[in-house]
Structure formats: C-alpha cells, structure tokens
A and B are shown apart, each in its own frame.
Chain A
Amino acid sequence: MIKKLSISSIFAQLLLLIFVFVWIAPTFGLFISSLRDKDVLAISGWWTSFTTTDVNEIYRTKGMEAQIEEDGYFIIKDKVFEEGSGKIISRFGITSKNIDEFEVGEIAVFKDGSEISIDKEGNYFWRSKEKFTKKKGKRIFVSATSPPSFTLDNYKEVLLREGLGQAFINTFAVAIPSTLIPLIICSFFAYSLTWMRFYGRDLLLATVIAALVVPLQMSLIPILSIYNDIGALFGVAAKSFPGIWMAHTGFGLASTTFLLWNFLKSLPNEMMEAARVDGATHYDTFIKIVVPLSIPAFASIFILQFLWVWNDLLVGLVFLDKHPSEIILTAKLKELLGSRGENWEILTTGAFISMSVPLLIFFSLQRYFIRGLVAGSVKG
C-alpha cells in the first residue's frame, strides 16, 4: 500500500515537473534573451548562454595614426576585445579563406612582410620594418571562447531610442482612469441594484448579465462613428485619451458591476437597514459602511480591470492614434513585430518591458487576482 502510494507520488511529481518546465520555458527564454548581447542573440539559442560558447569574430586593426617607432621597427599595438570581456582566443587568421590558420602565440606574416602576433586576451602586436602608410588597418579573424555574459544595453536602447518609454507612460495614462472610472461608477450602480427599490430593477440586472458576454466587436463600429461625429462637430480629435477611457469604462462596466453586485449582496442586510432607520441617507450608507467593507472586493476588481486594460490591444488600436504621443505598449510591440521582426534583442526586451507591470502585480497581489477570477470573471 505504502509502496504503491510512493510510486504514484513520484509519478505525480515528475508529471507536474514536466508541466512546470513547459510552462516556464517560453517566458524564461524571453527574459534571458532580453539580457543577451544582440550579436550573440542573433546567432545562438538562449539555452547556450549559460555555458561558454565558441565565437568567431572579425576585427580591424588600427591604421597608420596609431604607429610608434621602436628599435627600428614600426609598431601598432591594441586589444581586439573591450576590457573585461572575458573572451579567450584559441586561434586566429589573417585571411577570410583561412580564419583559424594560426595558433595563439604564433607569428603570422602579411603579404607586405609585416608580422603580427596575438595573445589569449586579445592583445595584438603588429610590427613592420617599413613605415605603415595606410589609414585603414588589416582584418584579423579570431576564434575565441566567450563566457556567459549579460547586459542591460538592450533595455537602454529600447526605452530611449525605440520610443517604448513614451508608450509605457501612455499605457499608464490609459490604464489608470480606465480602471478607476468604472470602479467609481459601478460601485454606485451595484449599490442601487442591491439595496434600492425602483421600478425595472430586475430588468436592469438582467441587462447587465446579458451585457457580460456581448463581444466588444459588436460595439466597435458604432462607437467609432460616434467618436468621429463628435470629433467633426466640435473640431476635436476623434481619437483621444478621454475617448478610450470611456470606451474601456463601457466595455468593463458589466463585469465590474456584476462582480461588485455579487459581493454586495453577501453583506448583511440588517446593517443597511439599521443605518437607514438611524436616518442615514443612501449616500451616507454608501460612503461610511459599504465602501470600507468593500475594499478587498475593490482590490480584486481593480487588478482584473487594470490588467485587462493594460494587456488590451484591440481597443487601443481602434480608439487611439498610432502617433508616438498616444500609442500604447501592446500596439507599439505589434508595430515592432512588423518592422523589426528579425531584431530579437528589441522584440524580446520590448515584450519584457510590456510584461513587467503585469508580472509585478501578479507576484505581489496574486491573492486578490485569483479571488477576482474565481468570483466568476466573464468579460465581454
């Protein structure tokens, strides 16, 4: 009995381990790639980055300006790698036909009779009896082993030069109001659906439940034409931040209301009635009793809606301009996917930047996130 259990337990562990591995590998690969040097990234898989790798590089020596005269020879000295690169040269060559002709320490002779030698760390020593007369140096080919190395250069490049920094700020400018406005409006709405008595309340609630599953594609064309009409009528831009806030508010309204209503109806009715008897208005009850009790529910809904807006692409594409001052991260990333499809250092880094905020929220507030989802998130 015990033996049987332990076999099934080992089997369970193994199977789960495989699942975990398959699920984490894609994201992990992206993260590692974003930290790699772009030249290495383009020619080798990310899984090779933890071991030393063999690289072949071409380097051009310095030209005539660098020469010094010593003991009757003209000498040019320099290093082929940057300081602290950790690369170690094994072989080198001086023609493209035979790039690993010489062992380190051997002396190679160019056609013009000048001699060059190179050591493991990449310091070369090039001497000639004649004066060097060419501005351009000569090419040397080195075969080296490169230790694992990671860099933040890609992040600097992407944030500052590719315009992702601005897109990052734009996404915040879209996401924060698009999360808070529905939360404010819907908490009043959900309150009235729970504790106010009025004609047509059940119909309104049924409408909200129906609206939960209406695909937002049904709204795009009419809303866009309303926005265009408003833009033309008042001479303002049809695509603007307030426009997208309201669109997100509209598309998130049903789910936010539904989740809040679900939560509010679980609060004890006696408490509300007691407050009413004491002469509190609905507004007092709402502010002083309902809001403080609803903070955990607010947190869950805030996270769900924030992540939804942050990760949205379609609404951002339709209701915002592609101009740098308005474009959001997901749209920018899609744009890069088209224009820089082969520049994986930019794509992986860009993707990781766009994921950074959701992942931060995920790892710090996972409990609320899960609670919100489990409370029955059906979003239209």
Chain B
Amino acid sequence: MTIFSLALTVLLGILAFVLFFHVSNFLLDYFGKRSSKIFKLENSLRAVIFIAPAFIILFVFIIYPVFETIRLSFYDKIGREFLGWSNYAWAIKDPDFRRSILNNFGWLLIVPTLSTFFGLVIANLADRVWWGTIAKSIIFMPMAISFVGAGVIWKFIYDYRGPEQEQIGLLNAIVVAFGFEPQAWLTIPVWNNLFLMAIMIWIQTGLALVIFSAALRSIPSETLDAARIDGASELKIFWSIIIPYLQQTILVIWTIITILVLKVFDIIYAMTNGQWQTEVLANLMYDWMFRGGGDSGRGSVLAFCIMIGVIPILGWNLYQHRKEQKI
C-alpha cells in the first residue's frame, strides 16, 4: 500500500466513528422535535446511541472471549471435541509449564518489590536535591520505551565475546576490568531470569517514582518538621512517617506492576524466547497459539492460568469500588 492510500484508510476509519455519533444524534434531534412519539423515547434512544458502540466492543473483545477461552480450555486443539480436564492434566505434567509457573512466581516476587523499593528511595532522594526534577525525568524515561526496544538495549549490555576478544557489552567489560572471566549472561540458567527481570525493574521503577513523588507531596510538612525538631533522623522519619503514610500508594503501585508482570511477554520473547529455562506463561501461551498450526485448547489453559493470577486483584478492585460508591 502506498502512503497515500494508507493515510486515506486511516482517515476513513476514524471518520466512520465520528460520523456514526454525529449523524445518529442529529437524526434523533431532528425527528425528536417532530414526532411526540419519538420524543418520549428520546432519552432511551440517546442512551443506546451513546452506549451501544462501546458495549458491543467490550462484549466482543473482552466479555465473550473470557468465557470462550474458558470453554476452549476443555476442548481439543481446534476447539471441536470435548476433552474434559485433559488439557489441564497435560499442563501439570509439562516441564515447560512447570518452569513457567516457577519463573512467573519469581518475577512476581522480585520485580514489584524492587521497582517499588527503588521508586520510593529515588522519590525521597529527588525531593531533597535541587536537580531532583531532572533526575526524576531521566529515571522515568524508560517508561516511554517499548519492551522490545529495551530488550535490544539490554541485550547489547549483556553481549558476550570470547575471553580473547575485546568485550563490547558493558556488563562483561566491567567484569573483565575487575579481572574476572566474561560470561554469556543470558544462557546461565536460573540467574539469567534475574538479568531479564532487571529490564522490567529498569522500566517500572519510573512508574513507581512518579506516583510516589505525587503522593509524597501530600504528606503534611508540619508532621515532618515536628519530627525533625524532636531530633528524629532522616532514616527514622522515612520508616516511621513516610512509609506508613504511603501504605495505600505502595499497594496501588504493587498491584499495577504485578498485573503487568503476570503478562510479561515481549522481554522474554525478544531476548531468549524461553530458552535456557527462562520460559514464562505468556510466552508459552503465544508459542502454543501457533506451534504445529496452533493448539487453542492448551493455549487457553495457559491464558486462564494468567487470568487466575489477576482474579484476587479483580475482586479487590470491585470491593473498593463498591465501598466508594456507597459513600
């Protein structure tokens, strides 16, 4: 396709939605004024126009697929024959699946913890120095970068050359400078997971940082000043005032990063594709979607496993929402 026809497609696509809303509302206004019958219906018709497109999309792309995926997880690879629990039985025995579960747990434990911790520490430090804004900007920047782009950046850092060659990867260059042997970091099982997690931490620390920065400003300065006058050390203030004050924020950041980490795909897919024992659920699922023409049953089991991870968060969110609505 040429750029021109591509631009035209894009324009038409967007215009279609603008026109839908404009024309349907215009018609409703026009006929509403003429016929008293329609006038009575006006409000409900208007609601239908406002809601229908979003609801149809929500239904087709989220609600229906959730149930369909659960259904497919009990069926064979093309979704025809009912198999009962056999896909789940397969998963429990599959070494790749076990490895993925183990790795996902590792990711869930380490990434949210360290991102939140770094974010909190940096937000505190940045508040005290005059160049804090610039520092925050720099640490936040990886948030704008794609996981694949970050993958390339870090693959370059982990690059490995034989010991007789000059290292062009930063990590090996440092290791060699200290007199150790260079390593092919991404191929050392178990530890390589940490090197992949480092990428996610590098990205998500920025998210924690900006949210903490906003929250820190809400701590009344009188409380902090009072503590300082009483002679509390900065460390003591951090643990006894700031941390308790930010509990809610810490929880929010923790959940955001947890949800993200459960679905981690791009980094693994781009860096190792699950080799050397770095497999995770999302990558394994993608693999089964297309391996050997695709197996929708096994793929669905894997997707459902990711879903199980978010159900507690989903429940908590709904509970919080209901509490807010009552107030």
Contacts and interface: CB of A to CB of B under 8 A. Distances in A.
Contact of B144 (A47, A333, A362): A362
Interface in A69-107: none
Task: Give 6 nearest A-B pairs by CB, closest first.
Answer: A250-B61, A311-B146, A189-B54, A351-B152, A362-B144, A219-B65
B51 A221 contact: no
A378 B205 CA distance: 16
Given A213-B314, A225-B79, A250-B58, A30 B152 contact: yes
Interface stretch (B82-90, B96-104, B206-214, B239-247): B206-214
Contacts of B214: 370, 374
A322 to B, nearest CB: 12
B151 A16 contact: no
B170 interface: yes
A173 B152 contact: no
Interface in B32-85: 32, 42-44, 46-47, 49-51, 53-55, 57-58, 60-66, 68-69, 72, 79
A311 B29 contact: no
Contacts of A362: 141, 143-144
A281 B159 CA distance: 63
B14 A334 contact: no
Given A45-B166, A241-B6, A283-B25, 14 more contacts: A23-B141, A27-B153, A47-B173, A191-B50, A210-B314, A220-B299, A242-B13, A250-B62, A318-B289, A330-B266, A333-B149, A337-B155, A350-B152, A376-B252
Given A209-B318, A221-B72, A344 B156 contact: yes
A234 interface: no
A347 B152 contact: yes
Given A185-B57, A334-B269, A222 B307 contact: no
A24 interface: yes
Q: How large, as a class, is the contact surface on chain B?
A: 35 or more
Contacts of A12: 125, 128-129
Interface stretch (A118-126, A200-208, A267-275): A200-208
B54 A45 contact: no
Contact of A282 (B6, B50, B132): B50
Interface in A123-170: 169-170
B138 A45 contact: no
24 contacts: A12-B128, A19-B135, A23-B142, A24-B141, A29-B153, A29-B156, A30-B156, A42-B168, A169-B6, A185-B54, A196-B43, A196-B50, A202-B325, A215-B259, A216-B263, A217-B263, A217-B302, A313-B269, A314-B286, A333-B270, A344-B168, A358-B144, A362-B141, A373-B143
Interface string A9-47: 100110110011001111101100100000001111111
B127 to A, nearest CB: 9
- Chain B interface main SS type: helix
A223 interface: yes
Interface in A319-352: 325, 329-330, 333-334, 337, 344, 347-348, 350-351
Interface string A251-273: 10110010000000000000000
A176 B304 contact: no
Contacts, number: 330
Contacts of B170: 25-26, 29, 45-47
Interface of A: 8-9, 12-13, 15-16, 19-20, 23-27, 29-30, 33, 41-47, 169-170, 173, 176-177, 180-181, 184-186, 188-189, 191-192, 196, 198, 202, 204-226, 241-242, 245-247, 249-251, 253-254, 257, 281-283, 307, 310-314, 317-318, 325, 329-330, 333-334, 337, 344, 347-348, 350-351, 354-355, 358-359, 361-362, 366, 369-370, 373-374, 376-380
B93 interface: no
Residue from the set B62, B63, B211, B318 with the largest chain A CB neighbour count within 10 Å: B62
A279 to B, nearest CB: 11
B296 interface: yes
Contacts of B129: 9, 12-13, 16
A192 B47 contact: yes
Interface in B195-224: 202, 205, 207, 210-211, 214
Contacts of A220: 65, 285, 289, 299, 303
A347 B156 contact: yes
Interface string B132-170: 100101111111111111011111110100000011111
B60 A351 contact: no
Contacts of A45: 166-170, 173
A25 to B, nearest CB: 7
A281 B135 CA distance: 49
Given A217-B303, A354-B149, A377-B256, A173 B9 contact: yes
A313 B167 contact: no
A244 to B, nearest CB: 11
B122 interface: yes
B262 interface: yes
B317 A209 contact: yes
B74 to A, nearest CB: 13
